[in-house]
Structure 1
Amino acid sequence: MQANLAALPLPDASVDVVVNFQVIEHLWDQGQFVRECARVLRPSGLLLVSTPNRITFSPGRDTPINPFHTRELNADELTELLVDAGFAEVVMYGLFHGPRLREMDARHGGSIIDAQIARAVADAPWPAELAADVAAVTTADFDVVSRDERDINHDIQDSLDLIAIAVRP
């Protein structure tokens, strides 16, 4: 289905789960989209959202470094957005690069993500090494840690991405 995310073509309370990975940061009206998700979810339905963490992607900036993002969020801002849209329970996780991805970051000037963005902005092809590294990434290359977990090696403020699971009342 292709649709306008600000006006989902679904009846009220008609779905159990809405999954939105790496999209919300591209939307001009994030609040409207999240309200639409709440509208179409049944009671106790789940909204799963992932997005880059503003603190690590665009540190100290008012606007995103990535020219394709309209607004990036930190963990508190994403939680507030979801609560303001009517979600009662929000559990926040941070996504971190594991050891192999940190090695790839070092090979690509400090950030494999920035290397991809730089090529996209320059409308330039990826070097073979970058393409091979990106193609080799698997879920095992990431660590996912709950905001509530006490982990001396992972602070959600330092996570690359945020993953929120929100429950519709």
Structure 2
Amino acid sequence: MPDLALRRIQTPRQTVGILSVIGGDSNGTRYSLWECWALELPWEENRNRKSCIPPEPGENAVFRFERHESPRFGRCIWVKDVPGRSEILIHAGNYVSDTAGCILVGDTPTDLNGDGLTDVTRSQETLDELIGRAGESGSLQVTWEDQTADPADLSLHGVG
């Protein structure tokens, strides 16, 4: 069963990352099967509806996920056991303003509306593909990249 890995960096106004579906071979080697871009709110001390999910920058964490049918967002992925939070979903949305603490996914990073923030394209299509590849449940590993990096420095090239 594949797992998910989220590698992310924070900017003052948002968190940008790469979400990977991870597979492995019989020797225990893990590798990325598929990747997409992710958007979250910036780290704001895990404040409900204001912050990306833990861990805080410089830390790592592992959560469980399950496929979910949300009354508001439809088919999505529910990230479980997030300390101090509930109903954290991976769902469609193109702008960081489309989230209140959840994780958004998309195909290509760009500034769609000229506000200086990274947005993502083809979010619903990307979410549909992610759901198809992620399976019913698994684990989500969340890590932080170099916090001095620019979102443009992230690339879709494996687990790292």
User: What TM-score does the superposition give when structure 1 sets the normalisation length?
Assistant: 0.23
Give the structure with higher Rg (CA).
1
Q: Which has the higher strand share?
A: 2
User: What TM-score does the superposition give when structure 2 sets the normalisation length?
Assistant: 0.24
